[in-house]
Amino acid sequence: MGVHPRALDYAESFPNGVIPDESELTCGTKIVPGKSYGFFTDTTLCIGCKACEVACKEWNGLPADNLGLTGHSYDNTGDLGADTWRHVAFVEKIGSGGDRARDMAPFQSNWLMMSDVCKHCANAPCLEACPTGSIFRTEFDTVVVQQDICNGCGYCVPACPFGVVELSAADGKAHKCTLCYDRLKGGLEPACAKSCPTDSIQFGEVEELFDRARQRVESLHEKGATDAYLYGAPDTPGATGGLKHLNAFFLLTDRPEVYNLPAAPTRASGRVRPSFLTGLAAMAGLTLAAAALMSAGRGGDR
């Protein structure tokens, strides 16, 4: 692989400052406000090294949590939360009845590894639920919690269909992946994608990523891995129930539930109107009944 011509402008090993638009060198994407950016996480390339988890914690200054072992394969992180914004899931495919699987997938072992992250949904349910406006959509089309506004009401937590957002007991505010908003502002690729040694996590413009991902699925199918499919790209599982698409989407090779993802998540705000209007209709009916009782009782007494 040749050296990117722009890299030659910065030949010193330690440049004095950040290289302008460094993301162009590291992932071939120039970060421009107003465009949509996201992650394409190709789980067939994940080797479970957890570099993304560590890079995320390092860059964002997140404290360690869940010290100890979960007993769930090599997953000692458990799930996404206030202090864990990237989480590598390890699925050991052992056959039915606890036996080891005897069939091997044509291209891979019987391990499934997947680096999970906030999906930065196109119609983010957490954003729609937030009553303070502390969750907002950035100029890079990502979803971020403003820590100086959040009052810890916690309504975004059950609103999220992927169980991503969590309230931190330490500071009483909601936290989740920011897609390295600060790095994007400085023209840097997000920490997890930059640290991924196999390019399982790819950062870029969402439309470009969709194209790249579709090609990847095609090529996997040609190689015989017909299980591969996209989760969260337009018109695929995950992008259901009004969610349109996920800015952080995935290539999976087993059912979503195996990776702890819902097959057809829905947008929680779609239930506001039916619920509220039905409730008001019930109250109107009760008011009519009460009005009838109130006036009927009186006529005879007079």
Partner 1 sequence: MNAVPDAMAPDAMAPDAMAPDAMAPDAMAPDAMAKDWKGETYYGQASLKPSPFDWKIAAYVYIAGIAGSSQIVATLADRLGDGRDETIVRNGRYLALAGALAGPPLLIADLKTPERFYNMLRIYRTSSPMSFGSYILTGFGLASGLTALGHMAGERRRDGSRSGLRRAADMAQVPAAFLGAGMSTYTAALLSATSTPLWAAAPRAMAVQFGTSAMATAAAALSLGEQVAGDPGNCRRLDGLAAIAAAGELVASAVAERRQREAGVGQPLREGPIGAGYKAGALALGLGVPLACHAVNALSKRPSRGLSVLGSLAILAGGMVMRQAVFQAGNRSAERPDEYFRLTRREPEGTSPRRRVDRDLAARGARRLP
d(CA 193, CA 39): 8
Mark the segment that binds partner 1 (CB under 8 A) among 6-14, 31-39, 151-159, 183-191: 151-159
Residue ranges in 143-203 assigned as alpha helix (H): 156-159, 181-185, 191-195
Give whichever of 21 and 254 is closer to partner 1, judged by the CB atom. 254
Tokens 């994608």 map to which residue? 193
Q: How far apart are CA 74 and CA 102, in angstroms?
A: 21
CB of 181 to partner 1, least distance (A): 20
Q: Which of 48, 186, 187, 270 binds partner 1 (CB under 8 A)?
A: 270
- Site residues for partner 1, 196-255, by CB under 8 A, read 213-214, 217-218, 221, 226-230, 233-237, 239-244, 252-255
Tell me how far apart the alpha carbons of residues 270 and 256 are, in angstroms, rounded to a whole number: 23
Least Å from the CB of residue 273 to partner 1: 7
* Contact range with partner 1 by CB under 8 A, out of 11-19, 37-45, 120-128, 193-201: 120-128
The DSSP secondary structure of 15-40, one letter per residue, reads: -SSPPTTHHHHHHS----TTS-EEEE
Q: Given candidates 4, 95, 151, 185, which one binds partner 1 under the rule CB under 8 A? A: 151
Q: 57-76: which residues touch partner 1 (CB under 8 A)?
A: 70, 72-73, 75
Q: Where are the beta strands (DSSP E) in the chain?
A: 37-42, 86-92, 111-117, 135-137, 143-145, 166-167, 174-175, 201-205, 229-231, 248-252
Residues 99-118 touching partner 1, rule: CB under 8 A, are none
Q: Residues touching partner 1: how many (CB under 8 A)?
A: 103
Give me the least distance between CB of 124 and partner 1, in Å please. Answer: 11
Per-residue x/- track, 158-187, partner 1 (CB under 8 A): xxxxxxxxxx---xxx--------------
Choose, by CB under 8 A, the member of 62, 113, 145, 268 that binds partner 1. 268
Q: Which is nearer to partner 1, 86 or 194 (CB)?
A: 86
22, 30 Cβ separation under 8 angstroms: no
Classify 192 as helix, strand or coil.
helix
Q: Does 79 bind partner 1 (CB under 8 A)?
A: yes
Euclidean distance between the first and the last CA atom of the chain, given in angstroms as a whole number: 99
Which of 163, 186 has the CB closer to partner 1? Answer: 163
Cα separation, 50 vs 38, in Å, equals: 19
Residue from 149, 199, 207, 223 binding partner 1 (CB under 8 A): 149
